[in-house]
Structures are given as C-alpha cells and as structure tokens.
Structure 1
Amino acid sequence: MTKDSWKSEIDGDELQVARRDWGYWSRVVLKYWPSILLTTAVVIAAAAAVMQTQTPIYAAQATVAVYPASGTSSGVQPFVMGTEKGIASSGAVLSIASKSLLIPVSKLQHGLSVTVPANADLLVISYSDSDPHVAQSAAQGIAAAYVAYRTSTNQPTASRGGTTTPSTAGAVQASVVTDATLPTAPVSPNRLLILGVAAVLGLALGLGVALVRDWMDDSLRDHRDLEIQASAPVLAEIPAMPRSRNGVGDRLAIVSSPNSRVADAYLNLRTRVLHAAVSRQANILLVTSPGGEDKAAIGANLAAALALSGRKVVLVCADPRWGQADALFGMDGEAGLTSIVHGDSKLADALRATEVPRLQLLPSGPAYPDPSSVSQSTAFLGLLTKLRNKVDFVVIDAPPVLASADTGALAELGAMVLLVADARATDRARVRAAANELSHVRDDVIGWVLDHERGVRRLREQSAYSRRPATQAAAIPSPQRPVLTWEDISGQSARSDQNVAAVTAGTRITQSGRHQETTSNGSHEA
C-alpha cells in the first residue's frame, strides 16, 4: 500500500462521524464504566442521605357523601359540590373540629386537603402530618365536623307568619361513608421515585463526565486514529495477550503460541514488511517507538516470523540503555554490539543462536559510558554493511525516537523504519512528536504497529484462513537454498558474495541495491 493510496482513504471528518455512531458510545461506556457506575452510586447515595434528613409525612383520608336534604325536589349539581368543598375547608367547620381535636385551626388548615372525585357526590378529606395517629384523627375529626355543620344548618327556621320552614341553606345533607384508617407508609418523601430519578440523573451525569474525559483524553483510540496522527499507514494491530506463568517468555508469541491471534498478526506484519522490502530494495529494518513501548517484543517476533519463512535473519539489539531483546531469548550481554564496536569482541563470538531456526541474535553487549558512540561509529556502519550482504534480513531494535538521537542517525542509513505505538500508553502528542522527529527520513518510514489493541476485528477476518502450526512454516525451506554457517558471516568462509546471495528463496536485496533472482540452475541474473 503506497502512501498516496492509504492517505486517500483517510477522511478528516471520519473520526468525527465515528464518534456519533454506536461504536463510539459503546467504546466510551466500556472504557469509563467504573467511573460511570461510581458517579451513579454517589448520586444515589446523596439522594438517600438527603431523604434521611427529611421528616416522613403520613396522610389519612375520610370520604363524605353529599346528597340533597329530604324534602328537596332536585339533586345536588356539580357546581354545588365545589361550594361544599369550600365549606369543608372553611373556618366554621375547622373551628368545630379544633374543639374536638384540640388542634389549632391554623395547623388544621396547613395539613388539610379536600378533593371532589369526578362524577361523584363525594368529598375526600385528607390530612397530612408527621404523626400517623394525628393524621388519622384529624381527617376523621374534620369529616365529622363537616357532617355536624351540615346537620346544624339543616334545622328549620321560623318565618314571619309564625310558621316554620326548612332553611334555604340546609338543602344538603352529608354522612361519612369511609372512616380514616391509620397510615402505615409515608407519602413523603417517595423513596422509590427519588431513588429512581437519582439513578437516571447519576447515569446521565456519569456518561457526561465520561464524554468530557474522552474528549480531553489524548490517548490513541484505534488504528485509524493512529494513521491520522502519524500520517503513515498502520501495518498491523497486535492484540493484547495475557501473560501466563512463563512471564516474559510469552512475549515471544510467534514461538510460544503459534496458533494464536497474536501470532497471526505477526504473520500479517511479516507479509507487509516483505512487500515494502521488495519495493524499496532494502533488507535492514529499524524497529523503534516514541518512548517506552514494547518495541523489543515486536522486533523479536517479527524477526522470528521472517526466520520461520525460510530466511536467514539477524536480530541486532542496538538499544543498550533500554533494550530487552536479550531477555526475550534469555541471553546475557557479556559480548555483543558494544564490545564489537569497541574492538573487544568479534562478530562470530558475539552472535548467538536462538530457539528459532535461521534466527541469530546479536546482543547489546556490556554498557559503555557513551552509548550514542555505538550507533554513530564507523565500526557499526561496517558491521551493518557486512550483515546486509550476508543475510536476508537485519532487524534492529533501535532506541526510542524521543529518548535518544541515535535512532535518527540510524534511520539515515537508508534502512526501513517501523514504529511501535501502544494502545494502552502512547498518546497522540508522542505519536506526532515521533513522526516529526523522523520527518527527514519520512520516506523510509514504512508504517506503524499498534500494540496491545483490544478490538481487532479486521485481524480475525484477515488471518482466519491462514492459521496453521508454525512448524509447517519452519519446515519449508527452498530446495535450492544452500545452508550457511555463521562463519560465513564473520568472513572466515571463502564463499563469494554471489553464492551468499543464494540464501534467499527467490529474491534478495543486496548492498548495491540490485534486485537479484535465483534461477532454476542456481545461477544469478541481475
């Protein structure tokens, strides 16, 4: 994939569109679910604490039936019920109730509520109080007072002619049809309603906080985000793989777990690196990262994958300060790159065989006061020249870009550059800074690797068909491939460079940049 082709696929608005779909929302929820739940729990706890400070209120109610007094010819009309509602809460009725209940009229007015059900000649007299017994007695007392008031106003009055006639105000009679009962549960505060509203508000607040945190978060979101920040393609996404009892040994997944998705990811990475090597006519690969990413594991697994394909590979640990490639293979640094550069060791003595066929390791070597002098020395350049002409691939574990100037100097050698970003730790700022640091060799950057990616759906689609035991790949060397000893690399063999070039099954890149092919009879043609 060329830079123009992958750049054409990246739309600046695509990330904004992705944030509006369900995938973005689900990612935010999955990423910040602990804080969302914590916020919800805090809001619910606060609501519960507030409810504890509130005094519970109990309500009791009595029902009074209103009907025309005996002797009247017409029923009570709806508008009359409105009048009766006002009478039931009037001072005259409450004064009667106050005498029997020994409760001030003002307090009775505060807790009283009178309602008229639709299409019914009923008065529902409710009374609320913090004491359920007071609420019951007050509701019953006010209902009885209203009935007594209506009974008293229904007494006959004398007319001017000396005869008695019913009072015009006494056209209504009332009776209590439902007595007030003792309330057992408070009507206020409504605990279920308050807790339900608090839960909804807590979830909304938690999600809002999560969105703000995600907006302020500078970490990488996915491979597309990495491509946008780095202005370079992502060649592979390495899934997160839990470590087992073997510890660091599990980081060499291409060997310890050859049938895993992690191993499949490295096989895909190998294919793309080989494609870049053919198009660029190069066989030196520089593996680096912005800072503390696990580039050593990426370089070691890639080197092992290249070796398992039948190629002769040397893994060079050129990061004496932070390098971990030695530990991945369980080797020490008594003799290595630094001792060779300083003339204390020879290449043949420093190269170590690994458990992977055709893969040799050149450890970092003992520590020296000035590590930068190693990568910038003529001895190191000569060593790389010798290696690139003797083997199929040289993979260099280089120092981090932002922590050392050595990587910039190594990149100027014309090697391919592969950078590693960690989905858990690398932020956008460091990706942009690393890309800017290597801007002078931008054309040599073949792409990035996103390590510890947790959602690699494309990886499963790409590698489902290719899953097979890794031993098969290791057991398919080309029938025309001669077997070289490592004395050939150190110069002790008299075999010519032309014969050494035959190590590659098909094609190999030489120092001169010529693309050589092996014919069926073993001769070489430019």
Structure 2
Amino acid sequence: MSPERQDPMNLREVLDAVRATWWLLPLGAVAGAVLALVLALVQTPLYTSSTQLFVSTTAASSTLDAVQGREFSEARVQSYARLLTGRDLAGRIVERLDVDTTEGEVQDSITAAAVPGTVLIDVSVTDPRPERAQAVAEAVGQEFPGLVSDIEAPVAGGEPLVRVTVTDAPQLPTAPSSPDRFRYTALGIVLGLVLGVLAAVARRRMDRTVKVPDQAAELVGAPVIGTVLKDASLETRHVADSFSPGRAAEDYRLLRTNLQFLQVDEPPKVIMITSPAPGEGKTTAAVNLGLALADSGRRVTVIEADLRRPKVTRYLGLVSGVGLTNVLAGTADVEDVVQQYGDSGLSVIGAGPLPPNPGELLASTQMAALLEKLRGDNDFVLIDTPPVLPVADSVGLAVLVDGVLVSVRYGRTLKEHARQVGVTLERVGATVLGLILNIVPPKAELVATHGYGLEYGYDGARPARHKA
C-alpha cells in the first residue's frame, strides 16, 4: 500500500479545519492568557523613574550665535545619549550614592534617547527598587553635567561650550513599569488563538479517518451514493421513523433513489452491504434501505448473512431461531424461514443457528442457488454481511452478488481500511456500486455545504405509518 500523499492545505481547507474543531481556539486563548498571566506574576516587578535633560551652549552674543549654538547642541545630543549609558557616568553615580550595586548594574539600568528635532534627552532608570530608581535618576542629573563639562572644556581653559540642565526632575514611581499584566495577557490570548488554529490544522492533517466524500470515493474506487446524518433514535431503535424530526429517513430515501439509477441498463438486484470494520453502520443501513425500497412498492428481501454477529432480526424485533443456515444446510425451505416485517412489505430471512464455518457457507453453491431463486421473486435482495477486513466471509460472497455497497462511518473508518476494502473487493472481481457515508454529525462541514441539515416536514395531518 503506497503512503498517502499530503498536499498543501488551501485557505478553505484551513477554515474547514478550524470550523470542525472551533473549540481549540477558545481553549488556546484561555490557556495562553493564563500562562501569560502566570509568567507576569512570577517575574520580579521593575520600577522606572524618568528625568529630562536640556542641552544648550554657554555663549550667544548675537542672533547668529544663538542659531549656531542651537545647531551645535542638536548635533551633540545624540552623542550625549550614548554617554548617558556609558561606564564613566555609572562609576560617578556609584561613588555618589554609595549603594550596594556595581557599575555594570547601574549602566544597564539607564536608557537614554534624544528627542528628534530638539536639544532634549529623555533618561529613564529601571530598577527592582523604586527608591533606588529615583536615586539613580537624580544622580544622573547631578553627575552628567559635570561629565559633559569635563569633556567639552576648552583646551586653553575657560568656560565649557555646552551646558546641561535638568528640566524634569525624577519622581518616586508608585507602580511597576513591568511586567505589564494587561499586555502580557493580551499577547497570550493572541498567541493562544494562533496556536489553536495551528492545532486545528495539524489535527486535520493528522486525521486518518474518512470525512470527505470525494476522498472516500477515491480511496475505495466507487462514488458516494448516500450520506446519512447521525440520528439519536437510530442508536436505540435502528429503524428510521419516516415522520420524526430527524433527517435519517429522508437520507435513506435519497440513497434508494440513487441506487435505482445505478447501471440503468442492467440494474443490480442482489446487493451485498458491508463495511471495512465493525461498528460502521452496515446493518442499520441494510435494514433502512430495505424499508425505503419497500415503501416505494418494491418487493424486497433482507438476508441476515452476518453469521457471526447477526443483528437484523434483533433490530426489527423478529424471530431469530431459524433462517439462512437452515436453508443452506437443507433442513428448511426458503418459504419456511421468511418473515414479514409488519405491513411494510419487507421480507426478512434471519441468520438461523450460528455455524462453525460461516465463510464456506456464504460462498457455497447452495448460497448461489438461494440468491438465484430470490432474484426471481424480488426486485431487490439486500444481504447484510460481516465486515470485510476482520474475516473473509464477505469476500467469498461478493462474487455471487450483482454489486456491493460499502458503509463507511464518518470520523471513524480509517483511510487505510477504506483503501484496503477497495483493493480486496477488486482483487476478487467484485463490483462496488458505491459508498454510504454513515453517521455524519449534524455539525460536520459537508452537512452545511450540501444542505443535508435542511428540514421540510409535513404541514398539517401526517399519513399513517407502517407498524411492525
């Protein structure tokens, strides 16, 4: 079996993945917000005290001197901003304050930026202790003018060309400047949403189950001729109520219509219904398709040929004592074991006593002869058989029928299993008529796309229903 090729997902497939697992987004957002808030709470709070310095020239005897002095100051502020974060100033501050800190720590706590188009420099000091942040900021205003004076002093002596003054004294910070819990939380929510989308896409890419009709058809090599929505009543009664609010009965009628238009020149009459694995709705499909065909006036017989786990008679409330195995063993005639389901017009042949060799019985000449007899007496003969992959019972019978319907369950049937069923049936020369995409959740994307969820019920009195 060749590995499945993974094509890049387009935008629509991404949106479909997000819609199918929408709960991952709020879950990711909540998880991101909580994690970000925890990170903010465990971090050491930092306090920031700010000051502002004004740079000017010391001599301006004329208007021209004032203009030139301003240009000179603007050219200097960029360099002074670098000096403010240098080691020389940090050393002077440590000596002035005589605090338990190093020059490197003071240097790292200071940030400075020149205000564009001005001769102002904004200085900020960040420290875990608000008092020390204010003290260092005050020391900057006290020590930096002296540092500038030393640097800018003329070689021949005299007054420095530049003067630095404090225009905005630092204040004692009362609230931490970081971490910003609101910003952390908002960022955590955004990142959580992104991770939720990525998780939804990854989940779709890693999903090995059948969910897309076109994909299922490609895997098995046959078209999807029916889609049956999940109906809670079918899980208990297994027989669709034609007049209930659920959509299942109408889905089986659509399946009936599609089946009748397959191979118009030689329409199939003897049809085997199976599935890749257990629990994929094959028996329920066989029973309800039989009822839908009988409701349209067709003569229909359903054979309970799953001789390992027979369920047809139990679903329909019929007797399970005698049936198919008696006929194949020659101990009873067909007329002796056929049962009628109420006034529906549906005939049922139960499994009978369970044999030790079900595969041999289903592939026997006696089974072929029985099917030929039932072909002449019915418009349709539906055979419920075991799943294809666990046992070989269905494979031997598949060559005796006109065609096979494969029930695949949405979100449960594995892609590898669906592909293997197609390969197995093709190997023995069986004809796969189509697929039944079964038990599709009402919120599935294909339900809205194809209008499967739309209701159009009776308005007024309802006709009488069949009674079992």
- Give the secondary-structure state (helix, strand or coil) at the position aligned to 2:53: strand
Q: Counterparts in 2 of 1:89-488, with a 5 A limit? A: 97-103=93-99, 106=103, 107-146=105-144, 168-241=158-231, 243-244=232-233, 247-249=235-237, 251-255=238-242, 257=244, 260-276=246-262, 278-292=264-278, 293-355=280-342, 357-439=344-426, 442=429, 444-453=431-440, 454=444, 455-457=446-448, 459-460=450-451
Superimposed CA distance per residue, residues 119-148 of structure 1 (whole angstroms, 9 cap, x where no aligned partner) = 333232321211111101211232134457
Gapped regions of structure 1 (runs ≥ 5):
1-11, 160-166, 476-526
CA distance in 2, matches of 1:443, 1:287: 12
Superimposed CA distance per residue, residues 91-115 of structure 1 (whole angstroms, 9 cap, x where no aligned partner) = 7766664454223671433322333
Measure how far apart 1:464 and its partner are. Answer: 7.7
Return closer, same or farther for 1:339/1:116 CA change in 2, 3 Å cut-off.
same
- Give the secondary-structure state (helix, strand or coil) at the position aligned to 1:176: strand
CA distance in 1, matches of 2:393, 2:150: 108
CA distance in 1, matches of 2:372, 2:151: 121
Measure how far apart 1:228 and its partner are. Answer: 1.0
> Which amino acid counterpart does residue 132 of structure 2 have in structure 1?
V
CA distance in 2, matches of 1:391, 1:371: 25
Per the alignment, residue 20 of structure 1 pairs with: 10
Per the alignment, residue 75 of structure 2 pairs with: 79
> Which amino acid counterpart does residue 108 of structure 2 have in structure 1?
H
> Which amino acid counterpart does residue 447 of structure 2 have in structure 1?
V
Give the structure-1-normalised TM-score: 0.72
Query: 1:264–1:467: 8 Å Cα contact kept in structure 2?
Result: no
Per the alignment, residue 62 of structure 1 pairs with: 51
Return closer, same or farther for 1:440/1:173 CA change in 2, 3 Å cut-off.
closer
Percent identity between matched residues is: 26
- Give the secondary-structure state (helix, strand or coil) at the position aligned to 2:388: coil
Of the two, which has the highest radius of gyration?
Answer: 1
Return closer, same or farther for 1:387/1:197 CA change in 2, 3 Å cut-off.
same
Measure how far apart 1:303 and its partner are. Answer: 0.4
Per the alignment, residue 497 of structure 1 pairs with: none
CA distance in 2, matches of 1:94, 1:406: 88
> Which amino acid counterpart does residue 61 of structure 1 have in structure 2?
S
Gapped regions of structure 2 (runs ≥ 5):
none
Higher RCO (CA-CA < 8 Å; seq separation 6+) = 2
Return closer, same or farther for 1:96/1:311 CA change in 2, 3 Å cut-off.
closer
Query: 1:290–1:402: 8 Å Cα contact kept in structure 2?
Result: yes
Return closer, same or farther for 1:291/1:140 CA change in 2, 3 Å cut-off.
same
- Give the secondary-structure state (helix, strand or coil) at the position aligned to 1:253: coil
RMSD: 4.0
CA distance in 2, matches of 1:432, 1:180: 74
CA distance in 1, matches of 2:17, 2:75: 59
Query: 1:40–1:202: 8 Å Cα contact kept in structure 2?
Result: yes
Measure how far apart 1:260 and its partner are. Answer: 4.1
Superimposed CA distance per residue, residues 287-339 of structure 1 (whole angstroms, 9 cap, x where no aligned partner) = 11122121011111110001111122221111121232222212341222223
Superimposed CA distance per residue, residues 72-94 of structure 1 (whole angstroms, 9 cap, x where no aligned partner) = 54334312434655666677766
Give the structure-2-normalised TM-score: 0.80
Equivalent pairs counted in the alignment come to: 449
Query: 2:272–2:401: 8 Å Cα contact kept in structure 1?
Result: no
Return closer, same or farther for 1:442/1:45 CA change in 2, 3 Å cut-off.
farther
Measure how far apart 1:463 and its partner are. Answer: 9.0
Per the alignment, residue 505 of structure 1 pairs with: none
